[in-house]
Amino acid sequence: MAVLNKIRQRSLFLILIIALALFSFVLADLFKNSDALLGTAQDVVATVNGKTIDRVDFMSKVENTQRQLGAGATSTQAMNRVYDQEVRRAIMNTQFDELGLTVEQDQMKDLLKQNFASYPEFQNEAGLFDENKLTEFVANLKAIYPERSVVGNFQLTYDDWVNSENSIAIGAQERAYYSMVKAGVNATLNEAEVDYLLENSTRDLRYVQVPYSTINDSLVKVTKGDISSYISNNKKKFEVEASRDIVYVEFKEVPSLDDENNLKASLNDFVNGKAIFEDGKNDTIKAFRTVKAANLESYINYTAASDLAYNDAFVKKSALPSVVADTLYNLNIGDVYGPYKDGNMMKLTKMVAKNQVPDSAKVRHILIPHVGASSAAPDVTKTVEQAKATADSVLAIVKANRSKFPDLVTALSSDQGSVDKGGVYDFHPSTQMVKPFSDFEFENKVGDIGVVKTQFGFHIIEILDQKGASNVVKVATIARKIEPSTETIDNIFTEASKFELALQDGDFQNIADERKLTVKPVNGIKVLDEQIPGLASQRPMVRWAFESETEVGDYKRFTIPGGGYAVVQVTKVSEKGLMDPETASASVLSDIRKEKKAELIRAKITGTTVDEVAKNQSRPATNASAVNMKNPTLTGAGLEPKVVGVAFGLSDGETSGLVDGEKGVYMVSVSNIQEATKLDNYQSIANRLSTARSNAAQTKVYNALKETADIEDNRATFY
């Protein structure tokens, strides 16, 4: 009691101590994350040429975009789309500002008219665009904000309308901007002449090639220093984003053998039937084999609660489950087979009936539609009852006089696909038509005629002919998905947890090997990646791998789509900058070896002519005719732009020095020079070049602007 009294007496002092502790904790976190103090990255998704992309506005656009993309799109996909749009807008606005490129009020009115003139909401009684109605609509949107209003097929708020106007204005600015760019990329007549000469001026050459492959790779030593030097000399080629390498072990929630056996046991209750005593009540599961055909649908869909609905149709043997097709096909009527496993299901199948049906049928029909029928025209007014009465009347007429069938097709049938053919559908398989239609034409005989109802209305069908015959069967199947039980799911969780705990004192690979688990590596994960090969969408995993506190060797357990877990370990952290020599080695070894081989080949070559080098190196001297600069290819050697370029710098009869080409070291001499005949006018070539440049200008200009823009991307902070 004395202690409690002392605490009560000093309660104010204790509260003060706790408050100071909490304050110091918060302060430490603020200093740890300086952005929180400065108010920068906390509210800015990106900065483009000094223009900020605000987080709140950005996230609102992401939500709208995700709604538009539908349920199949992830938030990351929506975010990336909005980001690309916002960056483009910021980059282009920089250009518009520098050029003073604006959309004036009168121009904006014309743009709105162009975009919305077809909307009935903005048209007068004569169907013409009414600017006053548009103005009234926008004013109303502003007044009811943040409520939505309908225009066309869209519902939008005032903010949505403002964004739409901005997009229209930016579109106009971009068109004006790119029009100016395209006007400046037209080819001159001099450029056209150069292009013509490159293509039509030719050289006949004689050359010798000493391939790099004549020196074995094992004779060329490439050191880590060589790779580092190569990277330093080609920095732009080896600039990389920050990345992470991981390994993971997957623990899937998949059914166990016990789960399959338990499911088999539950299906066995339907084979012979079973008495059930549950909640003080007696009940009975009727034996599957005793169920009459008329009651099968109810029994399978409701009593047995099958995961596959009953299909009351005859099928060929090829349509039966392949694992047991022979067995099922040979069952006697009324026999039951199973339970058996088919893919991810356990099934119990009963033979209901056997029959023989044509392979194809030829029919003609008259379709009488009704209100609500599929594909019914807007002018259809008959009710279901009226359409049925009409169909019955037509049936009576054509039964009495079948010669009237074509005239009635023309007068009454709404099936435009067959009206011009007298309602005829030529020979077709049973799968071509909807089921009720198909059942009639394949289960009846040639000459039979009747009325059949489908989702399209009422059909008066006459069977004109049938070809072939196949044996078919009708089966009834109770199917249950094989799913992991609660016990199995708990066991998988326990297994994943034990593996994770074991990593505290052991190596990831060794512990996985001990448990016979497969370790899967994933390399080069980027900060904004979402998909992990083998694990699908795993944005939380990527975020964790890039957290500043996550180091090489750290591990964590994550849930995976479809059920289960993945225990993940970070194996490599690569920061933004130049690629490290180890990673780059795969792509640069070939180039470095090529350089070293060229030095070795040069050192052993003697001779100053093509024939001397060919003899010295025991290589053939080869002739290449009509070589041009537009397509710098040597006969027998392939594409060699450097060698051909050197050759075009030689005089007739002159021989080059040694040239390091793509596939080897070359010496080349010119045996004939054929200059292109000059044209009187190069305008047509200039026009062709101008068109090609203009078509490529828009994409190339934007990519160039983006490459030179000052962009700070903070998306990974928010997503």
Q: How does DSSP assign 307-339, residue by residue?
A: SS----S-B-GGGS-TTTHHHHHTPPTT-EEEE
pLDDT at position 279: 52
Which single residue is written with the structure tokens 């990673």? 583
Alpha-carbon distance of 630 to 647, in angstroms, equals: 14
Buried b (16+ CB within 10 A) or exposed e, 156-184: bbbbbbebbbeebbbebbbebbbeebbee
Question: Most distant CA pair in the chain: distance in Å?
Answer: 115
Q: Which CATH architecture has domain 359-467?
A: Roll (3.10)
pLDDT tens-digit series, residues 392-409: 999 999 999 999 999 999
Q: What is the DSSP string of 527-545?
A: TT--EETTTEE-HHHHHHH
Range with the poorest average pLDDT among 222-231, 243-252, 486-495 = 222-231
Structure tokens at 607: 């001779």
**Residue 356 gets which letter from DSSP?**
E
**Cβ–Cβ contacts within 10 Å for residue 415, how many?**
19
Report yes or no: 261 and 276 within 8 Å, Cβ to Cβ.
no
Pairs from 313-322 (Cβ < 8 Å, separation ≥ 24): 313/435, 313/439, 313/474, 314/353, 314/355, 314/357, 314/443, 314/472, 314/473, 314/474, 315/472, 315/473, 315/474, 315/475, 316/470, 316/471, 316/472, 317/471, 317/473, 320/473, 320/475, 321/347
Query: What would the mean pLDDT of 196-208 be, rounded to a whole number?
Result: 95
For domain 242-254+485-575, which CATH number applies: 3.30.70, 3.10.50, 3.30.2420, 3.40.50? Answer: 3.10.50
The pTM assigned to this predicted structure is: 0.66
> Residue 325 pLDDT > 80, yes or no?
yes
Give residue 516's Cα distance to chain centre. 34
pLDDT tens-digit series, residues 32-68: 444 444 444 568 999 999 899 998 889 888 888 888 8
Alpha-carbon distance of 668 to 613, in angstroms, equals: 10
DSSP H or E run through 572: strand 564-574
**Cβ–Cβ contacts within 10 Å for residue 694, how many?**
17
pLDDT tens-digit series, residues 582-613: 888 888 999 999 999 999 999 999 889 999 99
Report yes or no: 122 and 135 within 8 Å, Cβ to Cβ.
no
Sorting pLDDT into bands at 50, 70 and 90, what band is 31?
very low
Query: What would the mean pLDDT of 261-279 be, rounded to a whole number?
Result: 80
**Three-point CA angle 136, 56, 169, nearest 5°:** 45
pLDDT tens-digit series, residues 438-468: 989 998 999 999 999 999 999 999 999 999 9
pLDDT at position 395: 95
Q: Report phi then psi at 252, rounded to 5.
A: -80, 145
Tell which wins on pLDDT, 564 or 71. Answer: 564
Return mean pLDDT, the chain: 88
Which single residue is written with the structure tokens 């994770």? 500
Alpha-carbon distance of 364 to 421, in angstroms, equals: 9
Range with the poorest average pLDDT among 24-28, 129-133, 510-514, 675-679 = 24-28
Q: What are the residue ranges spanned by the domains of the chain?
A: 2-32, 202-239+582-674, 242-254+485-575, 257-356, 359-467
For domain 202-239+582-674, which CATH number applies: 3.90.1200, 3.40.50, 3.10.50, 1.10.357? Answer: 3.10.50
Alpha-carbon distance of 563 to 253, in angstroms, equals: 5
Alpha-carbon distance of 288 to 544, in angstroms, equals: 54
Report yes or no: 244 and 543 within 8 Å, Cβ to Cβ.
no
Q: Where are the alpha helices (DSSP H) in 567-682?
A: 581-604, 610-617, 641-647
Q: Considering only CA atoms, which of 527, 526, 525, 507 is closest in space to residue 517?
A: 507
Q: Considering only CA atoms, which of 186, 30, 174, 203 is closest in space to residue 685?
A: 186
Q: Is 621 helix (H, G, I), strand (E, B) or coil?
A: strand
Spatial CB neighbours of 134, under 8 Å, sequence gap ≥ 6: 112, 116, 122
C-alpha neighbours within 13 Å on the C-beta side of residue 103: 20
Structure tokens at 235: 């920095």
Sorting pLDDT into bands at 50, 70 and 90, what band is 383?
very high
- Residue type at 719? Y
**Cβ–Cβ contacts within 10 Å for residue 451, how many?**
16
Which single residue is written with the structure tokens 């047991």? 324
> What percent of the chain shows pLDDT beyond 90?
58
pLDDT at position 184: 87
Fold: same for 242-254+485-575 and 359-467: yes
pLDDT at position 258: 94
Query: What would the mean pLDDT of 312-324 be, rounded to a whole number?
Result: 89
Report yes or no: 579 and 238 within 8 Å, Cβ to Cβ.
yes
Q: Considering only CA atoms, which of 556, 538, 537, 456 is closest in space to residue 499?
A: 556
